[in-house]
Amino acid sequence: MRPIVPLTLLLALPAHAKRPDAPTAAKVPSIEEVVAAEGFTPTPSQSEIYKPGAVLVPNGRGGHDVVVSSCIDAEPDIAIMSQSSIATTLAGGVSARLGVARGAVSAGVEKRLSFVDPEQRTIALGDLVPNDDCLAKVDRAGKLQDLSQAIVMHDVLVAIIKNTVCTKADASGGVVALGAAEASAYSECVQESDGQVPLGYKAVPLDKVLAVSGSSAASASGVAAIEIGPVTERGEAEVEVGGDVDFAELARRAAQAKAVREAKEAELAAEAERIAAEQQAAIKALAAERARLEEQERVAAAALEAAQRERIAKARETLLTKAAADLAQVRPLLHSELSDETKPVLQAYVDKWGDAKVRVDDLVEEVKIPGVVVVLHHLNRDELSTADEFAAMFELRLAEEELCDQEARRAGATLRMADREALDAALQSKYASSWQRLQETVNQDCVWPAVPGHAVR
């Protein structure tokens, strides 16, 4: 009897249930497919032997050997292909054959490369004229090897390898990059190029190039020479040339490549001009902003200084008011002779107000208290010489006037000339002898010395 368990399990599933499809990785085109789609033959390797003007011969190992590295004197034209569809495809990444190191297994491993800056380097078919040195080398090589399959390169597709990554399929069917340890088993899993490498080529048979050039080396290359005997009959002559060439198409492609290049150059020039204009505008804007900030700082600094000066002026006025109030308390002692009892009181006033200062933020300003001058004059009066007495009297007069100015300011008035004359009279009465000598000295000059901040008499 056959086992029925699998059938039972199958029937237990819902009728609409089915196994989910395994995820499949997105197919990456091979480099051979991409190159062939552009009409090129993929290069077996990315060797520099594949260049326009080179003569190559198959080596039987899937590659080519060099017969002559440079057979044509003409320089190849270069067409930039950065705007073409192949440039986009190469930049997006293509798959390539993986060269496996000795003992490594490459099952499921794929190499993916991305390329940038593709170019087409072309020697026009009409310029495929071998130089004398090439003809001599072909003749010599033809005696050493069969050159019947030799080709002359005239068009090569090149690009720069930007990145190389080796990947493999995981259990879910997705694609993951190989780790560093696993990738080390493959010699090509890390590959970049500083210069452009060949990806595909177009070539013509060497025998055709030699036949068109009329070279005797054609026989050495394995192509039988055609003997033409004398013409005995009139008839039609046939001329054989090296294959069908659509020169109109070649000219159109050359003009198109030139137009693309000129458009790209114009675009780059316009972009450079735009960037330069933006830089100049940014420089001007930066200079204007710097000037605005400097002016803003200057105005702010001036406003701060003005505010500090105003606060200092108010603090100074407050200090002078307090000093004047203390002076009013000791002034009665100034009208009497100096004694041991009055001297300590007057000295205390000098000690308190002799070194007065006001401070606002980081600004400090000394304040000269006029009352200190008055009190010091009374304390030191008997010790002054004649010359010192003149100076002391003048300083005393200014100090008394400043005190009167303070009183007037507090009263909301100004010191009138009559007040100044009354002050002079009071000082003259108090210090009669000294005042007389000072007055005589001043009268000789006919003017009071000008002192900033004080009225000139």
List the end-to-end C-alpha distance of the chain, in Å, as a whole number: 146
Q: Is residue 385 situated within a structural domain?
A: yes
Q: Is residue 249 situated within a structural domain?
A: no
Q: Is residue 189 situated within a structural domain?
A: yes
Q: What is the pLDDT of residues 171-192, one digit of tens each?
A: 676 677 776 666 666 666 766 6
Whether residues 37 and 168 share a domain: the answer is: yes
Contact at 8 Å (CB) between 398 and 451?
A: yes
| Dihedral sign (CA 53, 54, 57, 59) | negative
Whether residues 205 and 317 share a domain: the answer is: no
Indicate the residue among 218, 248, 270 that finishes a domain: 218
Q: What is the pTM of this model?
A: 0.42
More confident residue, 310 or 187: 310
More confident residue, 309 or 416: 309
| Dihedral sign (CA 323, 326, 332, 335) | negative
Residue 61 has pLDDT above 60, yes or no: yes
Q: For the chain, what percent of residues have pLDDT higher than 90?
A: 27
Indicate the residue among 218, 246, 277 that finishes a domain: 218
Token pair listed for 414? 């100004």
Contact at 8 Å (CB) between 55 and 134?
A: yes
Rounded to 5 degrees, what angle do the CA atoms 307, 311, 315 make?
170
Whether residues 175 and 316 share a domain: the answer is: no
Full residue range of the structural domain in which residue 200 is found: 31-218
Measured CA to CA, the distance from residue 210 to residue 31 in angstroms comes to 32
Q: Is residue 205 situated within a structural domain?
A: yes
Whether residues 214 and 312 share a domain: the answer is: no
pLDDT recorded at residue 264? 92
- Give me the mean pLDDT over the 327-355 stretch: 87
More confident residue, 226 or 457: 226
Measured CA to CA, the distance from residue 176 to residue 131 in angstroms comes to 52
| Residue 85, Cβ density class (10 Å: 0-12 exposed, 13-18 middle, ≥19 buried) | exposed
Measured CA to CA, the distance from residue 327 to residue 375 in angstroms comes to 8
Residue whose structure tokens are 């819902």: 14
Q: Is residue 69 situated within a structural domain?
A: yes
Whether residues 313 and 198 share a domain: the answer is: no
Indicate the residue among 193, 218, 243 that finishes a domain: 218
Q: Which residues contact 168 (CB under 8 A, 6 or more apart)?
A: 108, 109, 110, 175, 176, 178
- Give me the mean pLDDT over the 72-100 stretch: 83
Q: Is residue 264 situated within a structural domain?
A: no
Q: What is the pLDDT of residues 5-52, one digit of tens each?
A: 443 333 344 445 455 554 555 678 888 899 999 899 999 888 889 999
Whether residues 100 and 200 share a domain: the answer is: yes
Whether residues 214 and 321 share a domain: the answer is: no
Residue 286 has pLDDT above 50, yes or no: yes
Domain count for the chain, please give it: 2
Please report which confidence band the pLDDT of residue 269 belongs to, taking 50, 70 and 90 as the band edges. Answer: very high
Least confident of 157-161, 207-211, 216-220, 435-439: 435-439
Q: Is residue 403 situated within a structural domain?
A: yes
More confident residue, 430 or 200: 200
Q: Is residue 453 situated within a structural domain?
A: no
Q: What rounded mean pLDDT belongs to the chain?
A: 76
